[in-house]
Amino acid sequence: MKTTPSASSLMSRENLYFLVLAALLLLVFPVLLDAFRLNLVGKYLTYAFVAVGLVLCWGKGGILSLGQGVFFGLGGYCMAMFLKLEASSPEATASQSTPGIPDFMDWNQVTELPWFWQPFHSFSFTLIAVVMVPVILAFIIGVAMFKRRVGGVYFAIITQAIAAILTILIIGQQGFTGGANGITDLRTLMGWDIRSNEAKTVLYFVTSGLLLACVLLARHVLGSKLGRILVAMRDQEDRVRFSGYDVASFKVFVFCLAAALSGIGGALFTLQVGFMSPSFVGIVPSIEMVIFCAVGGRHSLLGAVYGALLVNAAKTGFSESFPELWLYAMGALFIAVVLAFPNGIAGLYQRYLMPLEKRMLGGLGKAANTPPTAAARRMEETP
């Protein structure tokens, strides 16, 4: 009689895969890679926050957002505003016509720090804003869309339009946002030089630790009743609604959670690279973030992390050799994955490698449980 694997065995398998990822990020990469390459991997991991959020809202909840770059950018801009104000002290900007404000504001003849910049003198406020600003915007979008039962391709197009609108707004308000160049020349965090190799290494470990914590949080959500409701909404939304659940509220919650993860990733990205610009907010980066999730596997949290790492590593190598062809290659990759491997890397593993693994383990188990032959019994009985 064929038996199905128990929940405990599945959980132990998931724990093993998680430990493998943790060992890779916290032990293998720091030992094998130099400071420059480690910083690159740290930058790739910031995109993994977005990919994990997309697994929650797209893979499990069935909500495809093509505007996650908006939340990534908002978190990044919140951190960039704090870092820029730290670098714009009256002493450091004494040569400007208006000391004490960021240099791009002085170039655009802004004579006073705008009111919405004022709170970012506080690091505590900045940490809260990194999460809450994306969440508030996601909440507004979610309530406006999901309460009216807007979903599917219509929701995807609307989020894409929001990404385009925010990009235009940031570029147009150059005196307050830095325009197309963004907020640049970010060097210190509370007096600590983030450009040094030591700082880059520390930031890598902080990014890795926070990412692993977010993966655990997402696993907890998916393993709870909420996770089961999300999957049910994805497959049979009307049936869930007729069962008495407020589908719109669940959608708003998971969309806000994905936005919070994206905001954290954006803030860490700003710390890793030392700037933030609208090029990370618009339509193209938002679609790339969906590709990270699709390549890794939109139903797998760990697959999304590996997808972000692999696609960004390929992007770095390919764009150096063929920069004008990279976007075409990215589009072709997305189409190929959707058509040939809809479940991504995680799906390939489950389809081809996991059965092989089970056969190997099953063979070992049978060998261990096989009764000894007559010759073997005689040898054991021989004094």
Using one digit for the tens of pLDDT, what is the confidence trace for 207-250?
999 999 999 999 999 999 999 999 999 988 889 999 889 999 99
Phi/psi at 183 (5° precision):
-100, 115
- Is the whole-model pTM more than 0.75? yes
CA gap 141, 57 in Å, rounded: 14
Residue 29 has pLDDT above 70, yes or no: yes
Angle, CA 107 vertex, CA 106 and CA 113 arms, to 5°: 25
Beta-carbon contacts of residue 160 (< 8 Å; ≥ 6 apart): 66, 67, 283, 286
On average, the pLDDT of the chain sits at 87
| Strand partners of residue 188 | 193
Angle between helix axes 68-86 and 152-172 (nearest 10 degrees) is: 30
> What are the start-end ranges of the H helices in the chain?
7-23, 29-32, 35-54, 68-86, 103-107, 123-146, 152-172, 174-177, 197-223, 225-235, 237-242, 247-273, 283-296, 301-321, 326-340, 344-348, 354-369, 374-381
Q: Confirm if 175 and 110 have CB atoms less than 8 A apart.
A: yes
pLDDT tens digits, one per residue of 250-299: 999 999 999 999 999 999 999 999 999 999 998 989 999 998 998 888 88
Give residue 48's pLDDT band: very low, low, confident or very high (50, 70, 90): very high
Q: Is 198 left (phi over 0), alpha (psi -120 to 50) or beta?
A: alpha
